[in-house]
Amino acid sequence: MKIVDNKALLLRLRNPAKITTIIPRSKQVGDTSVLVHWGVDEAQVLNNIGIKAPSPITGQYTWPGMYPPFEHQRHTAGFLTLNQRGFCFSEQGTGKTASAIWASDFLLAQGRVKRVLIICPLSIMNSAWRDDLFNVAMHRKVDVAHGSAEKRRKVIASDAQYVIINYDGVEVVIDAILKGGFDLIIVDEATHYKNVSTARWKALNALITPSTWVWLMTGTPAAQNPTDAYGLAKLVNPSGVPRFFGAFRDKVMYKVTNFRWVPKQDAATTVHEALQPAIRYTKEECLDLPDMVYVAREVPLTAQQNKYYKEVQTMMRTAAAGEDVTAANAAIVMNKLLQIAGGAVYTDSGEALEFDITHRYKVLKEVIDEATKKVIVFVPFKHAIDLLSIKLKNDGVSAEIIRGDVTLTNRTDRFKRFQTEADPKVLIIQPQSAAHGVTLTAADTIVWWGPVPSLETYLQANARIHRAGQTNKCTVIQLQGSGVERHIYAMLDNKIDIHTKMIDLYSKMLD
C-alpha cells in the first residue's frame, strides 16, 4: 500500500509495542508500520511522549511571500506551531518576525487560531511587522491599533486577522482586546515584560487564558540580571518558577549586603530551565543569512521637534515660491531638518539649540539592550553626540565618543579598547571621523542616529564592522522619524549620490 496523503504521517515499529522512528510519507507500509493523521495535535502528542515528530507545517504549507524562508526560519516556524506557549530567543537580524508570521498563518489556515494580536515597540509596528506581513502574508487582513483610544477600539473590533499594537496601547483598550477574539498573542522584544509588578505585565497576563497561544520573542531574555527571567517565565511557563518573585530571586541570587545581590553559580541553568520551551539561533549559526541586514525603525518626532521641523518647511515653501533654489541652499536647509530630527540644531551664530530626544533615545536603548554583542552608533552632529553620551552613561551603559575634536592618540586608544576589552559596549562616532581604515569588528550592530548626505561616508562607515576579521552576520539599523530622513535613507540604500539629487530632495520636502 502506498500513502500519498499530505496529512498522513508514517511511523515504523521496530516491535509491535513501541513506536520508535518516523519514516517519510509516500513509502511502502510494511507489517511494522503505523499510519496516523498528521496534524498539530498529533505532532504535539508524539513529541510529548518522546517521539521526534516534525511539525505538519513542513509538509502542508506553501510558504507564501516575496522571498522563500531560510532553513532556520522553517525550523523556527515549525517549533512555534508545536508549542502553544514558547519563546524565540534568536538574535536581532535572524528573521524572527517572518518566522512567527509563517507559523501563525499556518495555524490560521488550519483553523487552530482565528485572530492574532502582535504586541511590539512603537518603532517597529510599521517598519517591521506591518511591512513583513505585507511581504509574507499578503493574503491576510492587517491593521495597526494606534492613535486615540477610539481609533484603537475600532481597529480591534474590525475583521482584521492580524492587529498590531504597542506595549502601552494594550492597557488603554484592554477591555476591547478581551472581547476581540484573539487566541494567539505574539510579543516582540519581550524583555519589557520582565517585571511582574508593572501595569504592563498585569495587562498582558490578563489576556492569557488556558487556550491562548503565546509566543514571546527577544534576543536577550536575561541580559542584565537572572531575575529578569521571572516575568517572562510567569507568562509562558508559570509552573517552571516559584509562585512569588522573592523565592525565584533566592534560587538565582545570593545576598551580599542589604542592597547588593549577586548571581549564584548555577543561575544560568536555573534560568534556562525556567525559560522553556525555547528556540534560539545566533546570527553566526544562520549560514544562509546575508552578511549584512538593513532594518528601519520608526522614531516619531517629539512635539517640540515637530513644531520647528514644520517651521523650516514653511520657510522652504516661501523660498521656493520667490526664487530658484540652488543646490547649496537646498543642502543647508536639508541639514537644518536633519539637525532638528537628531536633537540639536545650530543657529547662525554657532550656538546649539537642544531638542527633546526622548522618543529616539528610547528606541536606541531598546536596540542596545537587545544586542548580544557590541554596538556602534553613528551620530552626524557633535552636539547630539554629547546629549546621547550623557543619557547612556546615566543609564549605566558604558560608552565612548569618537568625533573630530578627539586627538589621534585618544582616538587610537578608544578604538583599541573597544576591540579588545569588555568595555565600552557602545562607541558613539561622528561618521566622518571613522569612515575609513578602522576595524571595529568587535561590534556586529550599527545604529544610524540619523543619516548622512554622503553615499561614500555611509558605505565606508558600515564597512567598519563588515570587513576581514568579522565572524558574525551584521545588522545596520536606521532610526527615522522625519520625511527628509526616510528619503535620504532610501537614496543611500539604492546607492544614489545625494549631492546630485539635492534639488529633487528639496522639492520632496515641500509636500
pLDDT digits over 225-236, tens only? 899 999 999 999
CA neighbor of 460 nearest in space, from 493, 497, 432 = 432
Strands 116-120 and 184-188: parallel
Q: Which three cell numbers stand for residue 269?
A: 541553568
pLDDT tier, 33 (very low <50, low <70, confident <90, very high otherwise) = low
Neighbours of 260 (CB within 10 A): 8
Instruction: Determine the pLDDT at residue 36.
Output: 54
- Tell me what the mean pLDDT of segment 60-89 comes to: 94
Instruction: Determine the pLDDT at residue 53.
Output: 82
Provide Rg for the chain, Cα atoms: 26
According to the per-residue pLDDT averaged within each range, which of 41-45, 204-208, 393-397, 403-407 is highest?
204-208
CA neighbor of 377 nearest in space, from 316, 465, 312, 437 = 465
Cis peptide upstream of residue 290 (ω within 30 degrees of 0): no
Amino acid at 65: G
Listed as own residue / partner, the contacts of 288-293 with beta carbons closer than 8 Å and 24 or more positions apart are 288/70, 288/71, 288/72, 289/70, 289/72, 289/93, 289/94, 289/95, 289/473, 290/473, 291/466, 291/473, 291/474, 292/462, 292/466, 292/473, 292/474, 292/475, 292/476, 293/93, 293/473, 293/474, 293/475, 293/476
Q: Which three cell numbers stand for residue 439?
A: 576595524
pLDDT digits over 399-418, tens only? 999 988 888 889 889 999 99
Q: Is pLDDT at 487 greater than 50 in this prediction?
A: yes
Neighbours of 66 (CB within 10 A): 9
- The three-class DSSP label of residue 286 is coil
Neighbours of 16 (CB within 10 A): 8
Q: Distance between CA atoms of 107 and 422, rounded to whole angstroms?
A: 43
Q: Distance between CA atoms of 244 and 239, rounded to whole angstroms?
A: 11
Domains of the chain (ranges; CATH) run 8-54 (no CATH), 63-284 (3.40.50.10810), 292-299+354-508 (3.40.50.300)
Q: Distance between CA atoms of 459 and 461, rounded to whole angstroms?
A: 5
Cis peptide upstream of residue 424 (ω within 30 degrees of 0): yes
Its pTM stands at 0.76
For residue 477, give Cα distances in angstroms to 56, 64, 81, 368, 375. Answer: 35, 26, 29, 11, 11
Give burial (CB, 10 Å; 0-12/13-18/19+) of 89: buried
pLDDT tier, 279 (very low <50, low <70, confident <90, very high otherwise) = very high
Any residues with CB less than 8 A from the CB of 504 and at least 6 apart, and which? Answer: none
Contact 129, 145 (CB under 8 A): no
Amino acid at 412: T
Q: b vs e for 401-416, b when ≥16 Cβ sit within 10 Å of the residue's Cβ?
A: bbbeebeeeebeebbe
Average pLDDT in the chain = 86
pLDDT digits over 265-275, tens only? 999 999 999 99
> What one-character DSSP code corresponds to residue 190?
G
Q: Is pLDDT at 489 greater than 60 in this prediction?
A: yes
Amino acid at 145: A
Q: Which three cell numbers stand for residue 306?
A: 515637530
Q: Distance between CA atoms of 415 and 439, rounded to whole angstroms?
A: 8
